[in-house]
Amino acid sequence: MSERLQPGDTAPAFTLPDADGTPVSLADHKGRKVIVYFYPAALTPGCTKQACDFTDNLEVLTGAGYDVIGISPDKPEKLARFRDKENLKVTLLADPDKTVLTEYGAFGEKKLYGKTVTGVIRSTVVVDEDGKVERALYNVKATGHVAKIIRDLGI
């Protein structure tokens, strides 16, 4: 399991396929702040709620200078179904081998219904314009999380 990121750390670089299979890199967003959120699985209730919340608040976030990227271990085909079914506007990226999830500390041991399991840790990392970690939030709740981020960032 990798270490959790801390404010001031350099955000690990990544290039992953989006829902259409097009490569997207963190470097593509240089000069803008990026909210990178990690979620366990597309088309599940909590992850759908979270993705819809980000989509519903996307104009507010982009207007404040933030791009939003969601990363899960799902394959691009499943992400495309998720995007189309829920009419999502956020960029969804596929990390089936969990490399980026692990580099960001968003994959590892977690508690699930009182048991310790290995899986995706619902997390959000805010990366500044220079590629540094501004905030790193782990074990976040799907519901209410986007509103909390907006409050915490003073948007």
Q: Which of 7-11, 60-64, 80-84, 140-144 has the lowest mean pLDDT?
A: 140-144
Pairing of β 23-25 and β 15-17: antiparallel
**Average predicted confidence (pLDDT) for the chain:** 94
Active-site hit among 36, 47, 61, 140:
47
pLDDT band at 2 (very low <50, low <70, confident <90, very high): low
**Cα distances (Å, whole numbers) of residue 132 to 5, 13, 87, 150:** 10, 11, 31, 19
Q: What is the pLDDT of residues 67-87, one digit of tens each?
A: 999 999 999 999 999 999 999
**Cα distances (Å, whole numbers) of residue 19 to 47, 48, 78, 136:** 16, 15, 8, 25
d(CA 149, CA 155): 9
pTM of the model: 0.94
Active site residue 47: yes
